[in-house]
Protein backbone atom coordinates (compact mmCIF):
# COMPACT_ATOMS: atom_id res chain seq x y z
CA UNK A 1 0.00 0.00 0.00
CA UNK A 2 1.19 3.52 -0.64
CA UNK A 3 -0.31 6.14 1.67
CA UNK A 4 -0.26 9.90 1.61
CA UNK A 5 1.30 10.67 5.01
CA UNK A 6 1.48 13.98 6.89
CA UNK A 7 4.91 15.21 7.86
CA UNK A 8 6.58 18.27 9.38
CA UNK A 9 9.19 20.16 7.36
CA UNK A 10 12.45 20.28 9.33
CA UNK A 11 14.76 21.97 6.81
CA UNK A 12 14.66 23.12 3.21
CA UNK A 13 17.38 23.35 0.60
CA UNK A 14 17.66 23.78 -3.12
CA UNK A 15 19.34 20.97 -5.03
CA UNK A 16 20.04 21.39 -8.71
CA UNK A 17 17.22 23.93 -8.97
CA UNK A 18 14.71 21.77 -7.06
CA UNK A 19 13.35 22.64 -3.59
CA UNK A 20 13.87 19.66 -1.31
CA UNK A 21 13.12 19.18 2.38
CA UNK A 22 13.87 16.85 5.24
CA UNK A 23 10.45 15.90 6.58
CA UNK A 24 9.65 14.20 9.89
CA UNK A 25 6.88 11.60 9.73
CA UNK A 26 6.35 11.05 13.44
CA UNK A 27 9.94 10.01 14.03
CA UNK A 28 11.13 8.83 10.63
CA UNK A 29 12.82 11.50 8.50
CA UNK A 30 12.74 11.33 4.70
CA UNK A 31 13.74 13.57 1.79
CA UNK A 32 10.75 15.17 0.03
CA UNK A 33 10.36 17.29 -3.09
CA UNK A 34 8.56 20.63 -2.49
CA UNK A 35 8.01 21.67 -6.10
CA UNK A 36 4.20 21.36 -5.84
CA UNK A 37 4.18 23.58 -2.72
CA UNK A 38 6.79 26.26 -3.47
CA UNK A 39 5.80 28.45 -0.52
CA UNK A 40 5.92 25.69 2.15
CA UNK A 41 8.14 26.72 5.08
CA UNK A 42 10.10 25.04 7.86
CA UNK A 43 7.78 24.02 10.69
CA UNK A 44 4.73 23.60 8.47
CA UNK A 45 3.02 20.28 7.75
CA UNK A 46 2.19 18.74 4.40
CA UNK A 47 0.62 15.60 3.02
CA UNK A 48 3.37 13.65 1.24
CA UNK A 49 2.85 10.92 -1.35
CA UNK A 50 5.66 9.03 -3.13
CA UNK A 51 8.21 11.64 -2.11
CA UNK A 52 6.26 14.76 -3.12
CA UNK A 53 4.60 17.27 -0.77
CA UNK A 54 1.12 17.68 -2.23
CA UNK A 55 -0.96 19.73 0.20
CA UNK A 56 -0.40 21.94 3.25
CA UNK A 57 -2.00 20.61 6.45
CA UNK A 58 -2.60 22.14 9.87
CA UNK A 59 -0.63 20.72 12.80
CA UNK A 60 -3.63 19.31 14.69
CA UNK A 61 -4.87 17.35 11.67
CA UNK A 62 -1.37 16.09 10.94
CA UNK A 63 -0.83 14.85 14.50
CA UNK A 64 -4.24 13.15 14.66
CA UNK A 65 -3.58 11.40 11.36
CA UNK A 66 -0.07 10.29 12.37
CA UNK A 67 -1.40 8.93 15.68
CA UNK A 68 -4.16 7.02 13.90
CA UNK A 69 -1.79 5.61 11.27
CA UNK A 70 0.63 4.53 14.02
CA UNK A 71 -2.17 2.91 16.02
CA UNK A 72 -3.29 0.95 12.96
CA UNK A 73 0.30 -0.07 12.10
CA UNK A 74 0.11 1.73 8.77
CA UNK A 75 3.28 3.76 9.28
CA UNK A 76 5.35 0.64 9.82
CA UNK A 77 3.76 -0.86 6.71
CA UNK A 78 4.40 2.32 4.72
CA UNK A 79 8.01 2.89 5.77
CA UNK A 80 8.85 -0.75 6.32
CA UNK A 81 11.61 -0.58 8.90
CA UNK A 82 10.22 -2.42 11.92
CA UNK A 83 13.15 -1.63 14.21
CA UNK A 84 12.88 2.09 13.49
CA UNK A 85 9.16 2.11 14.24
CA UNK A 86 9.59 0.11 17.45
CA UNK A 87 12.06 2.77 18.63
CA UNK A 88 9.70 5.59 17.59
CA UNK A 89 6.77 4.00 19.39
CA UNK A 90 8.89 3.53 22.52
CA UNK A 91 9.77 7.26 22.60
CA UNK A 92 6.11 8.25 22.08
CA UNK A 93 5.02 6.41 25.25
In order of start, what are the domains of the chain with their CATH numbers? Answer: 5-92 (2.30.30.140)
Q: The pTM is what?
A: 0.76
The per-residue pLDDT for 25 is 87
Task: List the pLDDT tens digit at each of the 93 positions of the chain.
Answer: 467 889 999 999 999 999 999 999 888 899 999 999 999 999 999 999 999 999 999 999 998 988 888 888 777 766 665 444 444 444 444
Predicted confidence at residue 79, as pLDDT, reads 67
- Predicted local distance difference test score (pLDDT) of residue 21: 97
- Residues with Cβ within 8 Å of residue 71, at least 6 apart in sequence: none
5 and 57 in contact (C-beta within 8 Å)?
no
Question: CB neighbours (10 Å) of residue 22?
Answer: 16
Q: Residue 66 half-sphere exposure, CB side, CA atoms within 13 Å?
A: 24
Amino acid sequence: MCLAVPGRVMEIEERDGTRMARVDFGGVVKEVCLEYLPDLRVGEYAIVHVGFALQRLDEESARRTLDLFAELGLLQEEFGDGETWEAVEETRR
